[in-house]
Structure 1
Amino acid sequence: MSPTTTDPEPIRVIVVDDQELFRRGLVMLLSAEQSIEVVGEAADGDEGATLAAASAPDVVLLDIRMPKRTGLEACQSIKQAVPSAKIIMLTVSDEEADLYEAVKSGASGYLLKDSSIEEVAQAVRVVADGQSLISPSMAVKLIDEFKQMSRPERNHVPGLRLTERELEVLRLVAKGLNNREIAKQLFISENTVKNHVRNILEKLQLHSRMEAVMYAVKEKLLDLP
């Protein structure tokens, strides 16, 4: 390879799952993907949290049901140790009650264990790019949860006004749309969508897209039924 070649840095991933066959298979398949580098694997939540703190990965694939420390507990520990790490919860069902708690704890979304390797690799790239991995059905559940948490007497924080376009983008994020889908619907570029999302987070002083949606529902910034 020429020394002048400037290939992008690979996305550094760790896999944490107590089912050895599933974990090893996932590691093997992801290792064959371009732009993805598996830097470690762990069999339980304790080991996974320690490994994440030591290796500072870009993305963590984390089983939600594990011995010693649950995926939810490990998610919280990993986000504290490596705030920049994006976490994808691995689950057998999108009905998992803990998924809502996982998103609140900083997870970027979830992935069903019967997903294809193409879907897994795409999920890794999506969250590494700063997007959330939330299906429309899960988005509806999360919005319902957020609405239950909303308190009518809560005062709006002054000065954190979003533009009409930013509100449009936030509403579409709340529906589970990714940047490409939002760009297509609003007839703007993906980069423009990214800029809007960045501005929304800065104005609301939040760290993730899902946090922005949670805040927006609490503060009644979205026109939800």
Structure 2
Amino acid sequence: MLLNLSRHRDLIGSAAQATSSAEVEQVARAQQPEIALISAALSDGPLAGFRVLPTLHSLLPECRVIVLLDDTNEELALDAFRAHARGVFHRSDPMEQLVKCVDKVRQGEVWVQPGELRAVFDAFAECSTFCSARSTNVQLNDRELKVARLVVEGQTNRQIGRRLNLSEHTVKNYLSRMFEKVGVRSRVELAVLMMNDH
């Protein structure tokens, strides 16, 4: 696999190999790669690749990781994305697809099979249910109401700050307190709540 990738130096640049989670960490520290292709199975265990993913993300948050799986497995693919992977590739996929996968992930895209993508979306929807509350008994003060109305208008924190003569940081703090006060998690949920209340 490494040999196949090394034939595409124009896309890949230099390549290094590691067989254990400890070696992956050593190579990551020494080389600081832009892209890392990490096998789920390493010499120190069938899922040892997953053990090194949080460390890799902590060391190199900008490094785009592709997890290599032995075969299609929605659960493992989902866990790979939970661990900040940007792509999942299968050993059974054609090798020419691996070069394309690396190139797409390097460009900031995500690489995943359609069935696994569906599983990722389903998991995201399950853990982040959109709240569309009809109304609230919680009262916002005048300043919070002004901020909320500007959110409904689609204004950014910077724009709201300019309109109300506040710093962007202060607007962010207002929004955090308001989210907690009215029981929502996002600007969109706040805007929907405000629209339903009026």
- Normalising by structure 1, report the TM-score: 0.54
Deviation at residue 87 of structure 1 after TM alignment: 0.5
1:64 and 2:40 correspond: yes
Deviation at residue 161 of structure 1 after TM alignment: 8.7
Which residue is 1:29 aligned to? Answer: 4
Query: Equivalent residues in 2 for 1:1-225 (5 A)?
Result: 26-35=1-10, 36-68=12-44, 70-151=48-129, 159=151
Identity %: 19
1:161 and 1:71 mapped to 2: Cα distance? 46
Deviation at residue 54 of structure 1 after TM alignment: 1.4
Structure showing greater Rg? 2
2:153 and 2:3 mapped to 1: Cα distance? 47
Equivalent residue letter for 1:58: E
2:112 and 2:153 mapped to 1: Cα distance? 26
User: Between Structure 1 and Structure 2, which shows a larger proportion of helix residues?
Assistant: 2
Give the secondary-structure state (helix, strand or coil) at the position aligned to 2:15.
Answer: strand
Mean Cα displacement is larger for which, 61-70 or 80-89?
61-70
4+ residue stretches of structure 1 with deviation over 3 A?
A: 151-155, 158-162
Deviation at residue 153 of structure 1 after TM alignment: 5.5
| Alpha-carbon RMSD | 3.0
Give the secondary-structure state (helix, strand or coil) at the position aligned to 1:66.
Answer: coil
Equivalent residue letter for 1:56: Q
- Normalising by structure 2, report the TM-score: 0.61
The runs of 5 or more residues in structure 2 that have no matched partner are: 134-147, 155-184, 190-198
